[in-house]
Amino acid sequence: MLSPKPWKPEAVLRLLFGIFVGVFVGTLLTLLVRGANGTKPELSVGRMLVGVLSFQGVALVLVWRFICGHHLSWAEAFGFRNRPNRALRLGALAVGLFFPVGQLLQLLSIKLLTWLHLDPTAQAAVEVLRGANRGPGLVVFALVTIILVPLAEELVFRGILYPAIKNAGFPRLALWGTSALFATIHFNLASFLPLLLLALVLTWLDERADNLLAPIAAHSLFNAVNLGLFFLSAEFSRALPTQP
Residue 44 lies in a domain: yes
Residue-averaged pLDDT of the chain: 85
Residue 3 lies in a domain: no
Residue 137 lies in a domain: yes
pTM of the model: 0.87
Task: Report the number of distinct structural domains present in the chain.
Answer: 1
- What is the full DSSP assignment across 131-187? HPPSSHHHHHHHHIIIIIHHHHHHIIIIIIIHHHHHHTT-HHHHHHHHHHHHHHTT-
**% of the chain beyond a pLDDT of 70:** 82
Write out the residue range of the structural domain in which residue 105 sits. 9-237
pLDDT at 97: 94
Residue 4 lies in a domain: no
Residue 182 lies in a domain: yes
Residue 175 lies in a domain: yes
Q: Find the distance separating the first CA and the last CA of the chain, reported in whole Å.
A: 61
Residue pLDDT, tens place only, 175-212: 999 999 999 998 888 899 999 999 999 999 999 999 99
Average pLDDT over residues 126-138: 61
Residue 176 lies in a domain: yes
> Cα 179–185–190 angle (5° rounding)?
85
Residue 242 lies in a domain: no
Q: Is the pLDDT of residue 29 over 90?
A: no
